[in-house]
């Protein structure tokens, strides 16, 4: 196991899990728990995207601390054990031969560390746009380049690193050359407001958009109903088994 502090309140973990490393697909996640033989919370497992894998069977996770579960993960040390269930959920689907634009907000970066590196090796033209509030939250661009083969285009809302503004400005082509060229598939993971803004644009402009939603989850396997999101057809979708990756047109986007 490796645990590395990589940005404010953010850790990079590499765990030995050969079965998950072998089977994981881009966009899938794992539920991580600590079992019932301890008295410290959390008692329920927490979902985290598969952020990378190695041929030797390690799985990488990018963890930002919000509460007890993520704090516990960040405090793991070499030799500690955690329970991993996965890989779970529906992955991203790429259109053969078409360019791929990944739009990452905050730790929504995690699934794209996994996807961008492997998809580039498979011959896809992948552009990674990565936004954070400020420079102290940015996961080291050099490490991203090592994991994915190319440095990301970084945006910070306060302008302290990379381009000033929101990462969605990057989709508009601000600060860079135009990105929505060549009939790309746009993939997005991050805060709900970011996904909603992109879904609105995709509906108006007609580009393909898949989103990965970060709902709270109780079980991760479709039994607790804790993760439902409204569908465009008024039917609720379980983010854990029918997502977390959805075609944006499948979901209802309230303002
Ligand atoms: C499919 C999926 C993949 C995910 N992948 C990642 C990942 O790769 N890296 C990562 O860091 N997180 C990821 N998350 C989010 C992560 O699961 C939560 O941050 C985590 O469950 C929080 O648990 P906790 O016990 O630390 O905090 P809790 O005790 O559950 O929450 C503490 C407080 O923080 C708030 N909070 C919790 N999560 C978030 C959040 N994401 N954004 C803003 N506020 C929040 C809660 O509402 C609450 O107020 C993913 C979620 C899903 C559904
Ligand atoms: S997390 Fe339990 S049904 Fe989705």
Structure confidence by residue, pLDDT tens digits, 41-51: 677 889 999 99
pLDDT higher than 70, residue 140: yes
Where does the pLDDT of residue 183 fall: very low under 50, low under 70, confident under 90, or very high at 90 and above? confident
Residue 171 CA to ligand 1 centre (angstroms)? 25
Query: What is the per-residue pLDDT for 176?
Result: 61
- Residue 152 CA to residue 115 CA, distance in Å, equals 13
Domains in the chain, start-ordered, CATH in brackets? 2-88 (2.40.30.10), 100-250 (3.40.50.80)
The residue-averaged pLDDT of 175-179 equals: 65
CA distance 252 to 88: 23
Question: Which of 96, 144, 146, 143 has the alpha carbon at shortest distance from 123?
Answer: 96
- pLDDT at res. 93: 97
Mean of the pLDDT values across residues 141-146?
A: 90
Average pLDDT, the chain: 92
Residue 174 reports pLDDT greater than 70: no
Q: Whose CA is nearest to atom 23 of ligand 1?
A: 69
User: For position 35, what pLDDT does the model report?
Assistant: 75
Collect all residues with Cβ–Cβ distance below 8 Å to 55 and sequence separation of at least 6: none
Angle at 42 between CA 196 and CA 224, to 5 degrees: 60
Atom of ligand 1 minimally distant from the CA of 64? 11
Residue recorded with tokens 């090592």: 146
- The CA distances from residue 114 to 27, 28, 142, 169, 234, in Å, are 8, 10, 15, 23, 32
- Measured at the CA of 31, the angle between CA 30 and CA 36, to 5 degrees, comes to 150
Contact (Cβ atoms closer than 8 angstroms) between residue 196 and residue 166: no
d(CA 44, ligand 2 centre) in Å? 11
Using the mean position of ligand 2's atoms as its centre, give its distance from the Cα of residue 242 in Å: 10
Tokens describing residue 204: 């108006």
pTM, 2 dp: 0.94
User: Measured between alpha carbons, how far is 240 from 217 in angstroms, rounded to an integer?
Assistant: 7
Report the atom number in ligand 1 closest to the C-alpha of 46.
21
The pLDDT of 139-151, averaged and rounded, is: 91
Give whole-number Cα distances, 213 to 173, 202, 204, 225, in Å.
Answer: 24, 16, 21, 15
pLDDT in tens, 63-112: 999 998 899 899 888 888 889 999 999 999 999 999 999 999 999 999 99
Neighbour count for residue 142 (Cβ, 10 Å): 9
The minimum-distance atom of ligand 2 relative to the CA of 47 is 1
The answer to whether the CB of 90 is under 6 A from ligand 1 is no
Q: In sequence order, what are the residues at sequence separation of 6 or more whose Cβ sits closer than 8 angstroms to the Cβ of residue 42? A: 33, 34, 67, 68, 69, 72
Pocket (CB within 6 angstroms of ligand 2): 217-220, 222-227, 238, 240
In three-state secondary structure terms, 153 is strand
Q: Which atom of ligand 2 is nearest to the CA of 222?
A: 3
pLDDT class of 1 with cuts at 50, 70, 90: confident
């Amino acid at each position: 196991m490796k645990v590395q502090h990589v940005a404010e309140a953010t850790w990079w973990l590499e765990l030995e899990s050969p079965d998950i490393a072998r089977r994981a697909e881009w966009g899938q996640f794992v539920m991580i728990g600590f079992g019932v033989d301890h008295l410290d919370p959390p008692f329920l497992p927490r979902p985290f995207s598969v952020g990378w894998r190695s041929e030797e069977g390690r799985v990488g996770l990018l963890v930002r601390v919000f509460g007890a579960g993520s704090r516990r993960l960040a405090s793991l040390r070499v030799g500690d054990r955690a329970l991993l269930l996965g890989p779970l959920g529906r992955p991203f689907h790429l259109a053969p031969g078409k360019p791929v634009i990944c739009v990452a907000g905050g730790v929504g970066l995690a699934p794209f560390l996994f996807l961008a590196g492997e998809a580039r090796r498979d011959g896809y033209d992948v552009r990674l746009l990565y936004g954070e509030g400020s420079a102290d939250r940015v996961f080291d661009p050099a490490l991203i380049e090592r994991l994915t083969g190319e440095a990301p285009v970084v945006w910070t809302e306060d302008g302290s690193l990379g381009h000033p503004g929101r990462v969605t400005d990057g989709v508009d082509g601000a600060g860079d050359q135009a990105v929505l060229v060549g009939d790309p598939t746009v993939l997005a993971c991050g805060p709900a407001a970011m996904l909603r803004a992109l879904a609105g644009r995709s509906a108006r402009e007609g580009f393909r958009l898949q989103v990965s939603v970060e709902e709270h989850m109780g079980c991760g396997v479709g039994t607790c109903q804790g993760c439902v999101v409204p569908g465009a057809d008024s039917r609720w979708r379980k983010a854990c088994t029918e997502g977390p990756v959805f075609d944006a047109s499948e979901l209802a986007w309230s303002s």
